Structure 1
Amino acid sequence: MLGRIYPLLMLLFCSGAHAADFHFVPRNGVGPSTIRLDGPISDGDTEKLRTWILSNPAEYLVTNNIELSSSGGSVAEAMKLARLVELSGWTALVNPGETCASACFFIFSSAQVRISAGDVVVHRPYFDKVAQHPTEHFAQIDAQSGAAIAARDYLSAKGVSSRIVDLMMSLPSSRGYVLTSRDFNELGYLAPVAEEQAIRRCSIDNLDFLAKYSHNRECIESIFIPLRNSMIEKTLGAEALQAAGPRARALYLNQLVE
């Protein structure tokens, strides 16, 4: 086995009784602002994050990263969150000692930039309901097949290799595969379109991303700033985008006094 098998007995499907928490972490004078996702992914989390964005446009405009710390949860909701993260141009980060498992992988793999110093864990999608009747059992077989096909198509479109998807689909919900350095190199730090943009604008691709990123951070970020601006302008209007500018600038320069 190329990587560790991760016991997921404590990381199974999480019901709507618990939901993810989103927390804004402002710049510390050096690093970028960050939004943290902590906890299981449940229905309504995408709307919760969208509401935060539209209620705090200045904070959103200066946020570069989303830190992921989640045991998983609803795959359908994770895909919705993943689309919002993708539209934002945020870098998905998994910090040392933290885990992005199960449905969280859909968010991680959809980000324009994805970096992990922690554990990213995958296993096949599943249903938490125990079949009480043969009809339910066979209905779950059909649903599982459909979910597997949809997940494979979705991840392939995000640049996830068939080898990684095969590993994911081969493992039950009680175990998971921890992505290795080889897997991350294969996945790429930059999503496919982001990599092509970085090649043309900044002369950076996935092979030399880590070596060049620190010296070309502004060039890389210039790819994604228009995405964030566009979301605010399309949703709240050009005047709202312009009005958020002074506060965003003060946040970026650590000059904001509440």
Structure 2
Amino acid sequence: MHILDDLTGLTTRAKSLLERTGRRDGPPAPRLPTEFLRIPDRSGRPVPAPLTLVIRREGFEQRYGGLRYQVRKSYTAQGECHEVLREWHYDLGQHVWTGSARGWYFDWFGERVSSPVRYLVHTDGRVGVDDGGGTFLEIAPSVPALIESHALTDAVSTWNRMTPEGDSFALAGQLDGLTDVPEASGHTIRWRLSDDVAVQEFRTWSSEAPRQSRAFIWSRGQNGRHRVEEAAARAAARCHELWFDDAS
């Protein structure tokens, strides 16, 4: 059953996003079902599509095919907060690859914007990208987790997106009193939230190893801004201590 017909398993936040902005486009152009594809294995020899790939790829089409929704995103420029809309399209692509580890992965459309990455789904359920390096880079543990992350991004778009100087990930580490959001988090992304501060910690979408850790930080109201400013002061003091220890 398509996700717009059955939102079971999603949080109230994610359901609200899909109910407010979600729609399903008409039937896609005719395509060859996955079970009839012949896929190059790791040696380059064409083989019938494995059952795990058939189940995952056709399941993606059945559950998410044609899904469209919009995500509000905020950013700060010259001291002013701005909001943009990003639309996501859940349409299957034409390509399938064998991963360096066990399993296969396939492409789908993703965010409707000029992008240097190709969006992917692995047969183990993870969502990833390829930045041209030919490697599956995980960005979310599952498609529902990706939607939950988008719902959080949309929810905090009316907050103040902070643009601190220095290491945003180090600053995020100094913010306490936040609750983990497991349904939107995984190995390469972590959301933490309170009434006035939100943090998204993530690995960069780059095949350069090791993948760097970054963070987006939002605050709401004077109390939220004050908490982030205090955390920034602690992060700067910690950086100074480390520099002093190295220098001595």
Same fold per TM (> 0.5)?
no
Structure 1 or 2, whichever has the larger Rg, is 2
TM class by smaller structure: under 0.3
